Chain A
């Protein structure tokens, strides 16, 4: 088992290295002058030239890559030409906001996905099943920014049921930042009212993010449950008079957990990048929005850092998913170790 993990870890490292080469190449080779972009309106040619020297932009590409790699290993990701802060500082500031949102979204999608999936699978071919199939089709077909805009429009602007954009209402001072999670920090600061407001502000964006995953996970769960329902061991349990709810959640859910966990893992990593559309619509000060701003502003250091963070998250999550599924299903572990 450990050998497998180590082998996978090395593979991921190699892939990340290759990714860094790829994104570095793209960022440096594409047209444009990032030095000029970071200096603003009134800078003269001499000033721009100086910054170009500082950023090593006049050196050959391999040299630039070497400088960058060296700094990376020291923990220095460079300075963002847009926020003018060290990129590491920006990351620390923005990642928790997105993580909080994604975790909430994953929670929502896990619960609702499973529940609808189980019910649809149990009542297969009923009207409930048909309805949920239709809804899940819609969920998969609708881009997240469309969902985000619709929800904002209907619930916040028309019905005025939900708060508008941002993590907190404008006039509320945020609590001192300990974890970066607005809810946790508010509770730590002894302000449960703030935590509640923060939670309310998270609902619409989290739902926007979760919709597509509820749809997907629901379908997978439904298929799996529907399949397993036909199996003999279920009939045996029923004949023995086991309660339906216990049947559903103890005996049917377990085998369908594995594909669900796999999908959830993939979803989490995808969410990190797709979250930016929702973050844009809801003015969420998060990592994904930072990523898009960096790309639009040719903020080279930030772009490279952002892509690597996403790649790293992806790799780590994939590894975790593999480990968890190996625990859940010994046959998978055996199969993997054999290959």
Chain B
């Protein structure tokens, strides 16, 4: 008897040891979101977690555009592009076990528009109705061929769960629409379930076994298994992160704030990997409504005066380079001036001589603002400053904090002469983001159009045509036509494109698809852990 008991105990101990020895956890350094409410989230950081906890109606496709996800098909009803009908996938389970129906989707859309924040902007006014259990109708206020594409940031939530957890609020019968409750709970249908959330500090999530896409091992190796637990942390000190990477406490880093020497170390070490995920278009807008950048020749001078090679220098090995109004790997990309992409001081001086400030160059000052704290943005400003100084033009560089900076860019008069932003198409995986949003008066405005130029009617008309054109091939032709027209006004210069680089342990494998134009690849459903490799590298 004693012997049986003893052996049972030993077995139990061994079992426990085996389970705990292989910890199937991924610790990810991104910013744990400030908010996990899909209707309120507006920041890139909020969206990172969103794709793990929730599922959108449609999903970005590696070839561009979108593909079915929670919705299986859709069509424009009635031919005027204001009425869209979506057919939903059957048998999709929310984290609570409840099945998703058109009621949930319609409710979520109504909520999304009613709360009217952040990501709902591009959608305009949408009315959603459930036609039957798996069909939803969306009626728009303006025709748009691209409506389905904008739904990548629309995440259905579970209607009943929300209604059960409403607190006092400003939305009439819906109170606060569950906003308070959603801070620490989740009502989604994504691959991971929130188990613990300290907003802005830490988010824990566990694998949702009944996730509708399933966890099949197709395309993965025999030792590669899904990640069981996620821990999102917030650590902004990259020296600490390096230590954590070395000790194995950090698995994946998605903010990409490494210094160049650190990146080189990571690249050289076989235990770590660098995965390029999507490119960000570094754009320096030039404000056309404020002197001296109100003069087209002055702007062109800046284009030619900037030393593209110098700023590229050490980053070249990591794959930065040419870019323009679109990103080079997008279909329909048309290269813009300056070609070749090098500094041409003579040409710049010639442009300056043609500008209306030619006679009093020493009196003009161009202000270059960047968001305080970002070194490489500051470097671009410093480089331009040094370059323009050679031509006798004074450029002022300043880095106000984000609050001031974004407020400055809200009107044409207050926007600085030059503002720098990175545009990563996480909002919508289409050309629309880089064209309509930025160059049409109906676009997003603010920092998306910090050039404040809408006077070329031809461009405005062509942009409208892209939205009304249902045939993607014809639409692409319009985009190709648009780029040289826009480039001719010299509304921006593009120093380089900066790939988003994820640094991670080599035993964290993925992502299984790399969507060149758009995030988010921190959808951890697309990653696996190679347990055998982990044992080799970590030996525990």
A residues lining the B interface (CB < 8 Å): 31-34, 36-37, 39-48, 50-51, 82-85, 157, 164-166, 169-171, 283, 285, 295-299
Q: Are B427 and A298 in contact (CB under 8 A)?
A: no
Query: Which residues of chain B from 439 to 460 have any CB-CB distance to chain A below 8 Å in the complex?
Result: 444-448
Interface residue from B200, B403, B427 paired with A297 (Cβ < 8 Å): B403
What separation, in Å, do the CA atoms of A45 and B121 have in the docked complex?
9
Stretch at the interface among B74-82, B91-99, B404-412: B404-412
**B289 close to chain A: CB less than 8 A:** no
Q: List 4 other contacts, CB 8 Å, given A36-B407, A164-B240, A297-B403.
A: A32-B407, A41-B43, A42-B120, A296-B402
Q: Are A44 and B403 in contact (CB under 8 A)?
A: no
**B127 close to chain A: CB less than 8 A:** no
Given contacts A83-B34, A83-B200, A157-B239, contact A298 B43 (CB under 8 A): no
The 6 A-B residue pairs with the shortest CB-CB distance, nearest first, are A40-B42, A298-B403, A32-B407, A296-B401, A297-B403, A42-B121
**B87 close to chain A: CB less than 8 A:** no
Shortest CB-to-CB span from B160 to chain A, Å, is 25
Q: Are B34 and A82 in contact (CB under 8 A)?
A: yes
Q: Are A84 and B403 in contact (CB under 8 A)?
A: no
Q: Are B27 and A41 in contact (CB under 8 A)?
A: no
Shortest CB-to-CB span from B453 to chain A, Å, is 18
Q: Are A43 and B401 in contact (CB under 8 A)?
A: no
**Chain A residues whose CB sits within 8 angstroms of the CB of B117 once the complex forms:** 39-40, 43, 47, 51
Interface residue from A44, A82, A83, A297 paired with B444 (Cβ < 8 Å): A44
A-B contact pairs, 11 of them (CB 8 A): A32-B407, A39-B117, A40-B43, A41-B118, A42-B118, A44-B444, A47-B121, A164-B237, A165-B240, A171-B27, A298-B401
Interface residue from A39, A45, A46 paired with B42 (Cβ < 8 Å): A39
What separation, in Å, do the CA atoms of A75 and B294 have in the docked complex?
49
Given contacts A83-B200, A297-B402, contact A47 B119 (CB under 8 A): no
**Chain A residues whose CB sits within 8 angstroms of the CB of B401 once the complex forms:** 295-298
Interface residue from A34, A39, A45 paired with B118 (Cβ < 8 Å): A39
What separation, in Å, do the CA atoms of A291 and B448 have in the docked complex?
29
**Chain B residues whose CB sits within 8 angstroms of the CB of A296 once the complex forms:** 372, 401-403
B residues lining the A interface (CB < 8 Å): 27, 34-35, 40, 42-44, 116-122, 183, 199-201, 233, 235-237, 239-240, 243-244, 249-250, 372, 401-404, 406-408, 410, 414, 427, 444-448
Q: Are A298 and B404 in contact (CB under 8 A)?
A: yes
Chain A residue with the shortest CB-CB distance to B243: A164
**Chain B residues whose CB sits within 8 angstroms of the CB of A37 once the complex forms:** 402-403, 406-407
**Chain A residues whose CB sits within 8 angstroms of the CB of B407 once the complex forms:** 31-34, 36-37, 298
Q: Are A41 and B447 in contact (CB under 8 A)?
A: yes
Chain A residue with the shortest CB-CB distance to B402: A297
What separation, in Å, do the CA atoms of A166 and B283 have in the docked complex?
35
Q: Are A170 and B235 in contact (CB under 8 A)?
A: yes
Q: Which of B44, B120, B121 has the most chain A CB atoms closer than 10 A to its own CB?
A: B121
What separation, in Å, do the CA atoms of A36 and B43 have in the docked complex?
13
**Chain B residues whose CB sits within 8 angstroms of the CB of A46 once the complex forms:** 116
Interface residue from B121, B235, B414 paired with A44 (Cβ < 8 Å): B121
Chain B residue with the shortest CB-CB distance to A44: B121
**Chain B residues whose CB sits within 8 angstroms of the CB of A298 once the complex forms:** 401, 403-404, 407
Q: Are A84 and B34 in contact (CB under 8 A)?
A: yes
What separation, in Å, do the CA atoms of A85 and B233 have in the docked complex?
19
Chain B residue with the shortest CB-CB distance to A297: B403
Shortest CB-to-CB span from A296 to chain B, Å, is 4
Q: Are B201 and A31 in contact (CB under 8 A)?
A: no
Given contacts A40-B118, A170-B27, A170-B233, contact A32 B240 (CB under 8 A): no
**Chain A residues whose CB sits within 8 angstroms of the CB of B408 once the complex forms:** 32
Shortest CB-to-CB span from B495 to chain A, Å, is 21
Chain A residue with the shortest CB-CB distance to B249: A171
**Chain B residues whose CB sits within 8 angstroms of the CB of A157 once the complex forms:** 239
What separation, in Å, do the CA atoms of A29 and B120 have in the docked complex?
30
**Chain A residues whose CB sits within 8 angstroms of the CB of B200 once the complex forms:** 83
**Chain B residues whose CB sits within 8 angstroms of the CB of A32 once the complex forms:** 403-404, 407-408
Q: Which of A43, A47, A83 has the most chain B CB atoms closer than 10 A to its own CB?
A: A43
Chain A residue with the shortest CB-CB distance to B411: A33
Q: Are B235 and A42 in contact (CB under 8 A)?
A: no
Q: Are B237 and A165 in contact (CB under 8 A)?
A: yes
Chain A residue with the shortest CB-CB distance to B124: A44
Chain B residue with the shortest CB-CB distance to A45: B445
**Chain B residues whose CB sits within 8 angstroms of the CB of A299 once the complex forms:** 403
Given contacts A47-B116, A165-B240, contact A42 B427 (CB under 8 A): yes
Q: Are A170 and B249 in contact (CB under 8 A)?
A: yes
**Chain A residues whose CB sits within 8 angstroms of the CB of B410 once the complex forms:** 33, 36, 48
Given contacts A83-B34, A170-B244, A298-B404, contact A283 B236 (CB under 8 A): yes
What separation, in Å, do the CA atoms of A50 and B404 have in the docked complex?
20
Chain A residue with the shortest CB-CB distance to B408: A32
